[in-house]
Structure 1
Amino acid sequence: MPRFSVIVPAYQVQACLSQCLDSVLAQSCADLELIAVDDCSPDACGALIDEYAAGDARVKAVHLAENQGPGGARNAGMAEASGDYLVFLDGDDTLAPDALRALADRIEETGEPDVLVYDYARTYWDGRQVRSRLAGRLAEEGPAPFRLADRPGVLRVLTAAWNKACRREFVERHGFAFPPGAYEDTPWTFPVLMAAESIATLDRVCVHYRQRRRSGALVGADRRHFDLFAQYDRVFAHLETHPELDRWRPELFRRMIDHYAAVVTRRGRLPRGSHAEFLRRARAHYRRYRVPGTRMRPRHALVRFGLRRTFRALRLASAARRRTLRTTVRLARALRAGALRLHYRLQLRLPVRADRAVFAAEAGPGDPGALEEALRAHAPHIRTAWLARPEQQHAVAPGPRLVRPGTAAYWTALARSAYLVTDDVLERRLRKRRGQVVIRTGQGTPLGHMGLDLLERPAAARGTDFAALMRAVDQWDHVLSGNRYATLVWERVLPGRYRTLEYGAPRNDVFQRATSADVTRLRESLGVPPGAVAILYAPAHRDHRRTQGPLIDLAGVARRLGPRFVVLARTPYDPGAGGDAGGRIIDVRDHPSVPSLCLASDALLTDYASLMFDYACLDRPIVVHTADWAAYEAARGTYFDLRAFPPGAVARSEDELADIFASGHWRGSRSAQLRTAFRERFCPYDDGRAAERVVRHVMLGEPPEALPAVVPLAERHPVPSACTRAPAATVPRPSGGVPVTR
């Protein structure tokens, strides 16, 4: 008996059906049967289903002699089901990766509930994914499982069959089945939820609900919307035969009227000339099923009184009001923009203030933040300010004045500050003045192509305004660089008249100043267990991928390594989406300080991210995963073959990756030799005083020969990791074998 019976009705979805079936068969939880029902589809759906059934024993093909609609097709699938739980999926939708594993874990955790309700995301043709607005009602808080009376808000979640897993024995005992016609989910969902003795929720997107570019089922004008009346008749007929459920009548009445109002008010839903008929029937239902004392909402008046013309007039008035409001807002914005332009021109006529410096950072404080801190320490007479949007202000260190872009203070700061420091293109409307100095902090040491080299890489250059970039380059006076290799690259791909300051990366100064107490404090704040080996996982952006999804099975790797290891996952996606890792994955994607994450970790796991060049300053192990090197090199282009000159151990597969950590190779002598050579080439000046050199040379005017001498690599002592200070421990290899002592 399989754990899940996944039932997929298919009718005229031949273009999407393979993707749907593949999403089920590729699940990490393989304890399933896939029942694909050909609803007498006139296209190739039936043939596709037969092909899958022939190739995988878990697929059971069901062919209907005549079209019965989604409800009848699901009923036919249920008749063939033998799994513990029924999971429904439409033929043009897909299961999210590891969704069934998450369902199985939650079902076991909550004691085999009758119904498990989970979330979905609408997916659009351009790759956008929008999660349900009512996801908050699926929060996994409070006792679980529960009854509907304990959390009635679950009744307001989308009335679809495919966002719920139902225990098959429960469904068969109550004789639940789908009715004919459209909106067949409605008289299924409500009775199922009301009858369930135990319900649980899973706050996770398990279904990707495809949104068609053109009108699909029940989206365009169609008489099938009138089926809604028969379906609600069935809902209330169910209440008549089950008096113990009468307490839900007011809520179901409100849901019904809201549903009718949504259909009749949404443009293009009903065929032309049918609105009056729909409202007459809706009004009849209002009178038939209304519960005395039910509080009437404004939208209910449309149905109760059949006020179609009144509602249409109100809708037209509302549209006119919105147009007027938009026009007023545009006019106000234009007036404000004109006033700010005038203000900026006036400020440009006033003297530049030599005791002012402004800082801006797109990628977190980074180098600008380190320079601002050094400026306050070595040139306290210069007042500093940060240009930061509201969402960036939490990442700015306390002390300097915060200036919001687009305000009068913002333009004053740009017009009159002597020093402008940024890690990106500053303000495109900036007019650099005589006496102003623009410092462009580096973007790190590049591995992938940057700047003008991206002209030949359209995937990586998507959206880049090269003309604007070159105008910004012409304004730079100084560009910071961490090594000779980076200097040669940047000066070629961003040609300009600036001077390169090869003093090291200011953001890496903290690695030399931090103490063991700082490391301990950071690990505690992140929730790293004492004695654990913390691996910072930070992959590079993939230009050739429309969406930044998982590159490795992080949860699977964490499970194979065992409880000794934890992963600090700094990924652009939810690192927990790959399944349960026993709490060994810590989501740090929103952490404001990358240097803090580096200090808290014991090793770095990356692929092609430039963070490896900064992390090498810590002299801690680095492991690179190069499974898709060919694709990355083709899309982005690289300046050298990382596999030939790596900073540590190289893994070409997940098996190699797990073995590198379990065997101790990640911190072995060969890895240390590779890291030493890497540091010598890319970290020659990162001795903890890079920011000081910049401030003393640029702001205080000291000549290069008077600046602090660079500390040789052999004499630097970056703070050791917690793992280095911990006693040796024995870790089992993921595939068994001899334990490895470290």
Structure 2
Amino acid sequence: MSTRKGGTDVPEQGGSTGPAQGDGSGAGPELSVVVHGRNVQGHLGACLDALAAQASPGVEVIVAAVGASAQAAAADRPGVTVVPLPEGTGDGAARTAGAERAGGRWLHFVHSKDSVPTGAPRAVADRVADLEAGVDVLCVDHVRSTWRHQGMPSPDGKHLAKQGRRDLPLADCPNLLKVTPLLGNRVLRADFWRAHRTELSADDETFAAYAALLLADRVATLDQVALNVRELRSESLPKGPPEERYAVIDRYESLLALATDRGLPTAPRAALYDVMVGDCLRVVAREQLPDPVRREFFHRASKAAVAWRPRGHQHPGGLEGVRRRLLEEDAYTKYRTFQTANQQRRKLRSAVLSRKHKVGKKVRDLRYRRELERPVDPNLAVFTAYWDRGVACNPAAVAAKLAELAPHIHAVWVVSAANVPLLPPGTDHVVPGTRRYWEVMARAKYLVNNANFPNAIVKRPDSVHLQTHHGTPLKRMGLDQLDYPAAAKGLNFHDLLARVDRWDYSVSANGHSTEMWERAYPSHYTSLDYGYPRNDVYYSATAADIRAIREKLGIAPGKRAILYAPTHRDYEAAWTPRLDLATLADRLGEDTVLLVRGHYFYGGAASPLAGLRKSGRVIDVSSYDPVEELALAADALITDYSSIMFDYANLDRPIVIYADDWETYATTRGVYFDLMAEAPGKVARTQEELTALLTSDAWRDASAEKARRAFRHRFCEYDDGRAAERVVRRVFLGESEESLPPVTPVDERTPAPTPEEATQR
């Protein structure tokens, strides 16, 4: 007998109706998200709301609801299958009940207090669908949330990114044992879970998380956030007897025994041993335990450290090595003395540093206030770009035109110490935090930035702040990120608005940007609908300029050069290659050169790209500046959602959009329009589609040209080669709006010659 809830048949308490069949096609879903447990502090409803909003044919949601409160929270939700369980059912049993009801090929266990970020189920389902047979576990990234902070990143990204798209046995990726031990950041193949149900259904989630890796034949990774872990206040959790902490040692001894029984080699056993010793020392050092319990814990941990230490295993150096030796010696009294001495040393050092910091801040503030009392220098302008990276983007183009039209105004660039060596010779500059920095920031009449100046900068009544921005917005910006916490990443919106209130002018390249800026950054500034100064070069560059750039890049005459410039994903911990460039380059042939602006070249001499790099068919331009030169050198552009597409459209050359994860990107980051319907050219959703476009004439056929023409009219509205002149005349020379050079209509402009045209001149 069953009751009807949320449009699905639900078994009675403790029952099961067998595996679910997903979308009704008979094939079953790719992924089952199994939410399990009590309705802890009322968080289950929010978790299910987020999942229900992301329903898709390849993903099902199973709720193993423990107790009446959880069952009520899960009731009447479309697309959610509820497995009611009696009060007191443990986490392991709840996971088991949910998994038995699940029909997916893969299982993602999510505790009822946690949640799944927008777009994550689809991304995980897509990833596991591509995995080879024999892969048992997919490790994913997560964020943490507390009552105070939301979406704090985990430390796991570096371990996940290192493996990339490879699947490996644990012996070849032992560092995955350093990934936070949560069952929710390990997606398990359903058959694998059933084969090892005893270990993986343990109530101790940490044990189950480590056991999943130890038992897996092969492990894959996805450096995308697929879990939001809610860390509850310790004061709100029930307190057990302190002797329960002895179970930490028992857990690791069981895991090390499991690793030994599995015949795992030294590397993963040593990694797990290091985790055990580190956790045990943290319990001794940080947890509030009665001294007799702490002493006994130390004694038991000492025995485990000696018994399970791998042969030939070396202690780390420094203080950590001292701690480990004292543990192995079971020298509890010495350890506590050593610990106390270290605490005193840290307190003393912290006090000294704190005093120095306070004194330094007071001196800085005093100097800055004194400089603010001096008159503003009408002939001083401060420029910076990309958070003090150097001379670049719109500020660089404005500064160059300023030197031409108003040479009496002196430009000073704010540049981080690390980037000073990269400055053009003779560039006057200041490093943030230095004495002269505060002097010029206080006295400059003009402050130009494509991002924002620090909160400490004061807006003087007679100073002028010019915000140039650094791209046309496809993704949501400013206050429009309020509904997209993964993109906002803890952004303080009150501080943001305070920075925006300092703007006097905001430069815009098109009417779309003007409207979006006014909504995302509401304040009193004046919009300058003049075009982006950095794009002027697309109308002023000559054939000789283009030949010189291509020669500098090593592109032989007559070769087709394609610029591949993907953007960053907020939901990924690190940049992940989305194209097999070696295969693509082979398919495109020797007459095509790929200019790649990303971080693909992680491979060494053994990389399949090594030969292509040597032959000049793939050129890494990740650190090449300015990017405008790359655009001028390229016959075509491949990008996904980068704002480079809006700039490149000025050249009226082919653009291909490679959008293999558009739905995920649009859902997690938020977008202002549907790029798939309003693209600047052809759209490819897979590498096969992209290759087919580029190996035919489809990438530049009549329909691609028609799409590009519409895109140019909309997004290159004000870019005509004279944007910087208009900005300088209006902001720095005070000329009236009516006296500025009018914007040339799109159809009357002549972009820079194409590389093919440049070879003929």
Name the TM-score class by shorter chain.
0.5 to 0.7
Q: Which amino acid aligns with 2:533?
A: P
From 139, 153, 166, the equivalent of 1:130 is: 153
- For 1:468-507, what aligned pairs fall within 5 Å after superposition? 472=502, 505-507=532-534
Aligned residues: 657
Report if the CA contact (8 A) 2:34-2:108 is conserved: yes
Query: Residue 511 of structure 1 aligns with which residue?
Result: 538
Matched, 1:691 2:724: yes
Q: TM-score, normalised by structure 1?
A: 0.62
What is the rounded CA distance, in whole Å, between the counterparts of 2:256 and 2:508 in structure 1?
Answer: 72
Matched, 1:298 2:328: no
- The residue aligned with 1:201 is 220
Segment drifting more, 704-713 vs 311-320: 704-713
> Aligned ranges for residues 210-229 of structure 1 at < 5 Å?
210-215=229-234, 224-229=244-249
SS at match of 1:139: helix
**Are the counterparts in 1 of residues 450 and 470 from structure 2 also a CA contact under 8 Å?**
no
Contact 1:616/1:675, CA 8 A, preserved across alignment: yes
- Offset of residue 677 of structure 1: 7.2
- Give the 5 Å matches for 1:575-614: none
- Contact kept, 8 Å, 2:546 with 2:755, in 1: the verdict is no
Cross-structure match for 2:282: 262
In 1, Cα distance between the equivalents of 2:143 and 2:471? 39
Residue in 1 that maps onto 2:353: 329
1:337/1:22 CA distance change after superposition, 3 Å: closer
- The answer to whether residue 143 in structure 2 is matched with residue 119 in structure 1 is no
Deviation digits for residues 331-351 of structure 1 (CA, Å, limit 9, x no counterpart): 323433444456567878999
Q: Deviation at 1:370?
A: 0.7
1:412-457 deviation digits (Å, cap 9, x = unpaired): 43467676545577686569699xx746355599999xxxx99xx9
2:433 pairs with one of 397, 401, 406: 406
Q: Does 1:717 align with 2:750?
A: yes
The superposition leaves residues 179-215 of structure 1 with CA deviations (integer Å, 9 ceiling, x where unpaired) of: 886536537745862x65x423324236414122323
* Counterparts in 2 of 1:79 and 1:522: CA distance versus 1, 3 Å: farther
Quick one: distance in 1 between partners of 2:167 and 2:500?
Answer: 59
How far is the alpha carbon of 1:12 from its aligned partner?
0.8
**Hey, what's the Cα distance between the residues in 2 that align with 1:12 and 1:414?**
55
Q: Which moved more, 1:272-281 or 1:597-606?
A: 597-606
- Cα deviation, residue 386, structure 1: 0.6
* Structure 1 residue 391 displacement after superposition: 7.6
**What percent of counterpart residues are identical?**
24
Letter of the 2:89 partner, please give it: N
Once the two structures are superposed, the pairs formed by residues 617-656 of structure 1 within 5 Å of their partners are none
> Which residue in the other structure is 1:734 paired with?
none
Q: Give a deviation string over 1:108-147, Cα, whole Å, max 9, x none.
A: 5xxx34x334232133154314133374266236985446
Q: Following the alignment from structure 1 to structure 2, what is the Cα–Cα distance between the partners of residues 664 and 130?
A: 42
CA distance in 2, matches of 1:438, 1:275: 62
Aligned 8 A contact 1:221 1:271 in 2: no
2:654/2:705 contact within 8 Å kept: no
Q: CA 1:718–1:257 in 2, change beyond 3 Å: closer, same or farther?
A: same
* Equivalence for 1:153: 175
Which SS does the other structure have where 1:127 is aligned? coil
Instruction: Output the TM-score relative to the length of structure 2.
Output: 0.60
CA deviation after TM superposition for structure 1 residue 243, in Å: 7.3
Q: Is the 8 A contact 2:44 2:73 kept in 1?
A: no
Q: Which residue matches 2:34?
A: 8
**2:162 is the counterpart of 1:139:** yes
Question: After superposition, what is the alpha-carbon deviation per residue over 1:464-509, rounded to whole angstroms, capped at 9, x for unaligned?
Answer: 5699669856xx7x98788999999999x8769x9x9887653332
Letter in 1 for 2:276: M
Check whether the contact 1:423–1:442 (CA below 8 A) recurs between aligned residues.
Answer: yes
Q: Is the 8 A contact 2:447 2:465 kept in 1?
A: yes
Structure 1 position 102, deviation (Å): 0.9
Uncovered stretches (5+) of structure 2, i.e. residues with no partner: 1-26, 316-320, 573-577, 580-586, 589-593, 599-618
Q: Is the 8 A contact 2:266 2:310 kept in 1?
A: no
Deviation of 1:717 after TM superposition, in Å, equals 0.6
Distance 1:135 1:25, change over 3 A: farther
- Counterpart CA distance in 1 for 2:640 and 2:260 is 62
Evaluate the alpha carbon distance shift between residue 670 and residue 401 of structure 1 in structure 2; reply closer, same or farther with a 3 A threshold: same
Which of 476, 493, 502 is the matching residue for 1:463?
493
- Cα-to-partner distance string for 1:376-429 (whole Å, 9 max, x where unaligned): 456678764311345877997665233112212213434676765455776865
**Structure 2 CA distance for aligned equivalents of residues 91 and 78 of structure 1:** 13
Structure 2 letter corresponding to 1:263: V
Q: SS in structure 2 opposite 1:371?
A: helix
Judged with a 3 Å threshold, the aligned counterparts in structure 2 of structure 1 residues 219 and 210 are, in CA distance, closer, same or farther, namely farther
Letter in 2 for 1:226: Y
Shift of 1:668: 8.1
Tell me which amino acid in the other structure corresponds to 2:356.
A
d(CA) in 2 for partners of 1:501, 1:251: 58
Query: 2 CA distance for matches of 1:710 and 1:46?
Result: 63
5+ residue gaps, structure 1, are 542-546, 550-554, 557-562, 572-585, 726-742
Give 1:265 deviation, angstroms.
Answer: 2.8
- Whole-Å Cα distance in 2 between the matches of residues 262 and 376 of structure 1? 60
Match for residue 736 of structure 1?
none
Identify the residue that residue 576 of structure 1 maps to in structure 2. none
**What is aligned with 2:8?**
none
- 1:621/1:675 contact within 8 Å kept: no
SS at match of 1:204: strand
| Structure 2 counterpart of 1:214, one-letter code | R
Secondary structure of the residue aligned to 1:717 is coil
Q: CA deviation at 1:666?
A: 9.7
* 1:91 partner letter: H
The equivalent position to 1:87 in structure 2, one of 107, 125, 136, is: 107
**Alignment correspondent of 2:3:** none
- CA distance in structure 2 between the partners assigned to 1:206 and 1:697 by the alignment: 45
Q: AA paired with 1:122? A: V
- 8 Å Cα contact 1:367/1:505 also seen in 2: yes
> Using the alignment, how far apart are the partners of 2:715 and 2:201 within structure 1?
70
Whichever of the two has the greater Rg, that structure is 1
Q: Is the 8 A contact 2:156 2:180 kept in 1?
A: no
Matches within 5 A, 1:360-375: 360-361=384-385, 365-375=392-402
Contact 2:539 2:721 survives alignment (8 Å): yes
Cα RMSD of the aligned pairs, angstroms, is 7.1
Asked if the contact 2:563/2:597 (under 8 Å) is kept, the reply is no
Distance 1:333 1:357 in 2: 30
| In structure 1, distance between residues paired with 2:621 and 2:239 | 43
Question: What is the 5 A alignment of 1:432-447?
Answer: 438=464, 440=466
Structure 1 residue aligned with 2:4: none
Q: Is the 8 A contact 1:618 1:719 kept in 2?
A: yes
User: Which letter does structure 2 place at the counterpart of 1:258?
Assistant: G
| Secondary structure in 1 matching 2:130 | helix
Q: Tell whether 2:254 aligns with 1:231.
A: no
**Alpha-carbon shift at residue 260 of structure 1 (Å):** 2.2
Tell me, what secondary structure is at the counterpart of 2:198?
coil
Q: Following the alignment from structure 1 to structure 2, what is the Cα–Cα distance between the partners of residues 665 and 307?
A: 78
Q: Secondary structure at the match of 2:359?
A: helix
Q: C-alpha distance in 1, partners of 2:567/2:186?
A: 34
Give, as a single letter, the amino acid of the residue that structure 2 aligns with 1:133. Answer: D
- Matches of 2:237 and 2:445 in 1, distance apart? 62
Partner residue, 1:577 = none
Instruction: Give CA deviations for 1:265-303 in whole Å, capped at 9, x if unaligned.
Output: 3335x5897434433433444455556765454333564
Listed as ranges, the matches of 1:378-397 within 5 Å are: 384-389=411-416
